[in-house]
Structure 1
Amino acid sequence: MKYNQVTIKDIARELGISPSTVSRALKDHPDISPETKKAVNELAEKLNYQPNIVALSLRQSKTNTIGVIIPEIVHFFFSTVISGIEDVAYSAGYNVIITQSNESLQREKTDIKALFNSRVDGMLISLSRETSSFEHIDSILAKGVPMVFFDRVYDTPNASTIIVDDLSGAKEATQHLIDQGCTRIAHLEGPPNLGITKQRLEGYLEALKENNLPVIPELIVSCPLGTIEEGKLAAEKLLAMAQPPDGIFSTNDPAAMGAMQVIKDSGLKIPKDIAVVGFSNWFFSSLMDPPLTSVDQPGFEMGQEAAKLLIRQIEVKSKENIDPTPETKVLKTRLVVRNSSLKKGKK
């Protein structure tokens, strides 16, 4: 889809006034009536007009810089993604500006505006868990900025995405628990607005259905922050049931770690009494007691592929002056089996 930068002339033509009147209205000149100022500013906002003419003129030149917005730098998965991005970007002669939304929609809005004003050639974005509206993203897309979403993506036809097959990964994790003899498998569910949460829940449900196991709503516990503390609270809730689960598949590793701590503190054995599987394969997963089985996401590869795709789109736009066709690439997951899920006598 081709976007053109809105100019003062466009606003003037739409309102039937002169460009100079529009310019003065935007500058709040006292000679312009309040009614005209109101009309001009409302239309400028509607059309995503960028009043900084100097910045606009500078955007015509390539800066060889890409911007990255991630939810959390301390998250092991995202740190590996950053390494992959930098590996490709620096080799291609691009600098990288990294920002952190800290899982905040407002911070995400601030970051995307800051990157645009820094004149990056394109952006790589993974959404915050608070993001459920996308006007701030659509505004930048409308200005023709190449954009690639990774992991936590915005479902739009106007931008490319790099994702992992969360559904298949979750299904394999749940099937593994079933193969170990688990019949009452709980699921610790992640942030409700994220696509990865929905895909992991769907994979869990598909595995249950394909093995003729009942879907028990009480065994699906929400962990919207995905923290260790939420994992503890979820496990306490599950263990208080008349029939506790014999297996847990968690939407991420921190929640799984919290659940493991409560299970052990209650005197139960892992995996003999309750087998546990996480998702993301954090570095600390292998250091747990017992080591945590987890679905490995290829973070470094995701970063590489996202950077390659974005740079390719930037080059096409720069050399041919056309908007490249958005693409979607799906990467495979891998179940790393450790002792938290291997019941005695099971392979």
Structure 2
Amino acid sequence: MKKTTLKDIANHFDVSISTVSKALNDSPEISKTTSEEIKAYAKQINYTPNFNALSLKNQRTKTIGVIIPNMLNYYFAQVLKGIEKTATKKGYKIITCISNDSLQKEIETIEMLSSGVVDGFILSVAEETEAKKEYNHFKSSIAKEIPLVMFDRVVEDIDCDKVITNDFMASVNAVNYLKNKGCKKIAFAAANMDLSVGKLRCDGYLAGLKNNNLDKDDSIIITTHEMYYKKHEAIVKPLFDQSFDAIIASNESVAIAALRVAKDKGIKIPEDLSVIAFSNGILARHSNPRLSTVSQHGEIIGEKSVTLLINKLENKIKTTTSETVETDIVIRDSSK
């Protein structure tokens, strides 16, 4: 069966191909009534645009590639929600891919989508990429004039737009909060130390201790490179051989593992132990007790990321910028 083209739709309405194209893309040059009629007819005859042809004609696909490390993390789902909502408003589509924290998967995805499929990328860097410090695929994309916007997990050495949260200050603020609530011995547990965000959170924790004249105790600091959820309980268990009255966890899974171990040992939350976790996801709201968290505002990060990329694409901006989204602490039942 012959594929329906823009020309077929144009002939049906006795208008130019350009008019049809503008109507399908919600151009303000075309009246709302005409646009709706053309779109309804296109849907009726199952018209699908030829994105490769569009790309060849005007060097733009109005499609953005989004690469996230995993779909299990509520934070990334929120970022994706912000990206999709804002992209749709601005007339762009997104193609979402999962790197599964694999360097090779990230490379393959960028290579595949760089061949005229997308105009640019929004991504959070895979854990393996950060661990191996292999960034040639990012440099190659930029060299091809396919811009990148990195969010959350970013690479300082890559000259691209970035949207971040101040993970360092978020940890400092968490220590300040716990100290103000009377906590004197604050533990720290991180399971993602290959990531820039893990290091920043740990550095912020140490700075927070120093600012509050609290002693650093290595026996209640656990930093690993382990990302597997099933092992988090084994990671935090050795902490409980020591005494402490608060813990800051690098993610919700680590925090929930700490809650389980505490319960097994008869430690009352939050009377005997306060727990604060990064970041503010579904697990935090439904754990027992509900977790106090550092909220990173993923949806806002998504909105800012896609806005930066579209501005760069449409206004041909050559300079790069970095934007910071402030965090705040959401108090629930796991802390005083």
Contact 1:226–1:251, Cα closer than 8 Å, also in 2:
no
Shift of 1:161: 0.1
Q: What pairs with 1:58-207 in structure 2 (closer than 5 Å)?
A: 58=56, 61-131=59-129, 132-156=133-157, 158-207=159-208
**Equivalent residue, structure 2, for 1:324:** 318
Say whether the 8 Å CA contact 2:139–2:158 is kept in structure 1. Answer: no
Structure 1 residues 246-285: aligned runs within 5 Å:
246-285=245-284
Q: Give 1:192 deviation, angstroms.
A: 2.3
Check the 8 A contact 2:194/2:225 in 1, yes or no. Answer: no
CA distance in 2, matches of 1:272, 1:230: 27
Contact 2:166 2:325 in 1 (8 A): yes
Are 2:225 and 1:224 equivalent residues in the alignment? yes
Could you tell me whether the CA contact under 8 Å between 1:67 and 1:96 is conserved in 2?
A: yes
Q: 1-side partners of 2:287 and 2:224: how far apart?
A: 20
Structure 1 range deviating more: 93-102 or 284-293 = 284-293
Q: Distance in 1 between matches of 2:298 and 2:123?
A: 14
* Cα distance in structure 2, aligned partners of 1:65 and 1:216: 50
- Tell me how far apart the structure 2 counterparts of residues 59 and 192 of structure 1 sit (CA, whole Å): 46
How far the C-alpha of 1:228 sits from its partner, in A, is 4.0
User: CA offset at residue 324 of structure 1?
Assistant: 1.9
Q: Does 1:338 align with 2:336?
A: no
Deviations 1:137-168 (A, max 9, x none): 11111111111001111213520000011111
Deviation at 1:245?
A: 2.1
CA distance in 2, matches of 1:307, 1:95: 11
What secondary structure is seen at the aligned counterpart in 1 of 2:213?
coil
Deviations 1:224-253 (A, max 9, x none): 34454343123211112xx32221100111
Name the counterpart of 1:9.
none
In structure 2, give the amino acid aligned to 1:84: G
Number of equivalences: 281
SS of 1:117's equivalent in the other structure is: coil
**5 Å matches for 1:32-43?**
none
Q: Indicate the RMSD between aligned Cα atoms, in angstroms.
A: 1.9
- Please give the secondary structure, in 2, of the residue aligned with 1:99: strand
> Gaps (5+ residues) in structure 1?
1-53, 318-322, 343-347
Asked if 1 retains the 8 angstrom alpha-carbon contact of 2:69 and 2:101, the reply is: yes
> Could you tell which deviates more after superposition, 155-164 or 97-106?
155-164
| % identical equivalent positions | 36
TM-score calculated relative to the size of structure 2 = 0.79
CA contact (8 A) 1:70 1:125 kept: yes
Amino acid in the other structure paired with 2:135: F
Distance, in Å, in 2 between the alignment partners of 1:277 and 1:302 is: 22
SS of alignment partner, residue 313 of structure 2: helix
Aligned to 1:25: none
Task: Look up the equivalent residue of 1:194 and give its one-letter code.
Answer: L
In 2, Cα distance between equivalents of 1:225 and 1:106: 19
**Quick check: 2:62–2:91 contact (8 Å CA) kept in 1?**
yes
- Any stretches of 5+ residues in structure 2 without a counterpart? 1-51
The TM-score with structure 1 as length reference comes to 0.77
The answer to whether 1:310 aligns with 2:309 is yes
